[in-house]
Amino acid sequence: MGDKAMDYLLGGLHLDKKFVLTNIPEVVDDTNNQRLHHFISESPWRKEPVIERLQEDASSLIGGEDTALVVDGVSFPKQGEKSVDVARQWCGRLGKVENCQVGVFIGLATPDGERTLIDERLYLPEDWIEDEERREEAGVPEDVEFKTKPELALDMILEAKENGVSFGWVNADTAFGDSGDFRRGLDEEDITYVVEVPCNTNIWLEGEVDPSGGKRKPSRRVDELADELDQSQFEEVYVRDTERGELRCDAIALRVRTVENDCPSDDEEWLVIRKDNDETKYLLSNAP
């Protein structure tokens, strides 16, 4: 089985045109379409040992306290209805709702620009999960249940931690940072996170919530809070070196509680408001 896997990988590395099984024999000697098709579609093999080895090697090479574990969702435009997960859904690559497949990926990234992927999950929409005939035709295992993208990401992060992957914190965009359950799941495992949240995230500042459950001020959106702040309250912060010199931004960090089901969240978080030229980003973190 190892030689077939190597043929498949070599084909992906050497093909200059579209990567499909039928093209691999053009660039890899002593292989054929039938053998590769059997390996990919029918041959029983477990990916878990491969992922564990990948994570072990990646962690030993670029893991550490200064390494971020990055979460991202990636979409792949796809025609037809037979491929697993293909559906009309948001396609980030095209910037619109389109027929596509969506995957959730995690990887390691260092300040020096070293990076690698260490795990992935295919996101299955609920209509796929509920369509038994379609699942059977596509070979989706019976035990696969519906999970949101943040749930898939959290599963992978916790598995990576259990496998000994070394990282300092988790980074994610709004698709994941907007989930209170995702952030809470990381916090419960003592995993530090710095994640983006949408501009319409509602919060209370520290001191605006009565711990006894009494009256409290109305919550406000983070972008409304940013407009209320004076520019003098922001501090210029070094971000990283670039080819054009140092990248800096204006930022402020405030203790807040987010709104969950019309109530304050149990724990405070840091809200970081970052202004970079004409762009403003909002991040939440459980850092000390």
Query: Is residue 174 domain-shared with residue 68, that is, in the same domain?
Result: yes
Give me the pLDDT at residue 214, please.
Answer: 59
Query: Is residue 147 domain-shared with residue 238, that is, in the same domain?
Result: no
Residue 72: φ, ψ to 5° = -155, 145
Residue 134 domain flag: yes
Give me the pLDDT at residue 39, please.
Answer: 78
Q: Which two tokens stand for residue 5?
A: 């896997």
Query: Is residue 101 domain-shared with residue 186, that is, in the same domain?
Result: yes
Query: Is residue 14 domain-shared with residue 125, that is, in the same domain?
Result: no
Of the candidates 192, 209, 229, which is a domain's last residue? Answer: 192
Query: Is residue 206 domain-shared with residue 265, that is, in the same domain?
Result: yes
Give me the pLDDT at residue 212, please.
Answer: 64
The whole-model pTM stands at 0.89
Tell me the β-bridge partners of 236. 250
Give me the pLDDT at residue 233, please.
Answer: 96
Residue 77 domain flag: yes
Query: Is residue 83 domain-shared with residue 29, that is, in the same domain?
Result: no
Query: Is residue 41 domain-shared with residue 108, that is, in the same domain?
Result: no
Query: Is residue 184 domain-shared with residue 247, that is, in the same domain?
Result: no
Distance CA 247, CA 243 (A): 10
Of the candidates 153, 174, 192, which is a domain's last residue? Answer: 192
Query: Is residue 38 domain-shared with residue 128, that is, in the same domain?
Result: no
Query: Is residue 103 domain-shared with residue 70, that is, in the same domain?
Result: yes
Residue 264: φ, ψ to 5° = -70, 145
DSSP percent split of the chain into helix, strand, coil, nearest 5: 30, 30, 35
Residue 52 domain flag: no
How many CB atoms neighbour CB 165 within 10 A? 23
- By the 10 Å C-beta count (0-12 exposed, 13-18 middle, 19+ buried), 100 is classed as buried
Residue 55 domain flag: no
Query: Is residue 69 domain-shared with residue 163, that is, in the same domain?
Result: yes
Q: Which DSSP state fits 119?
A: E
Residue 50 domain flag: no
Residue 53 domain flag: no
Residue 83 domain flag: yes
Q: Which two tokens stand for residue 55?
A: 């994570």
Query: The domain containing residue 1 runs over which residues?
Result: 1-45
Q: How many structural domains does the chain have?
A: 3
Contacts by 247-254 with C-beta closer than 8 Å and gap 24+? 249/274, 249/275, 249/276, 250/274, 250/275, 250/276, 251/275, 254/205, 254/206, 254/225
From first to last of the 288 residues of the chain, give the pLDDT tens digit.
Answer: 667 788 888 888 888 777 777 888 888 888 877 888 787 777 777 889 999 999 999 999 999 999 999 999 999 998 888 888 899 998 988 999 999 999 999 999 999 899 999 999 999 999 888 888 888 888 888 888 999 999 999 999 999 999 999 999 999 999 999 999 999 999 999 999 999 999 999 999 998 887 666 567 889 999 999 999 999 999 999 988 888 888 899 999 999 999 998 889 989 999 999 998 889 999 999 999
Residue 157 domain flag: yes
Query: Is residue 88 domain-shared with residue 145, that is, in the same domain?
Result: yes
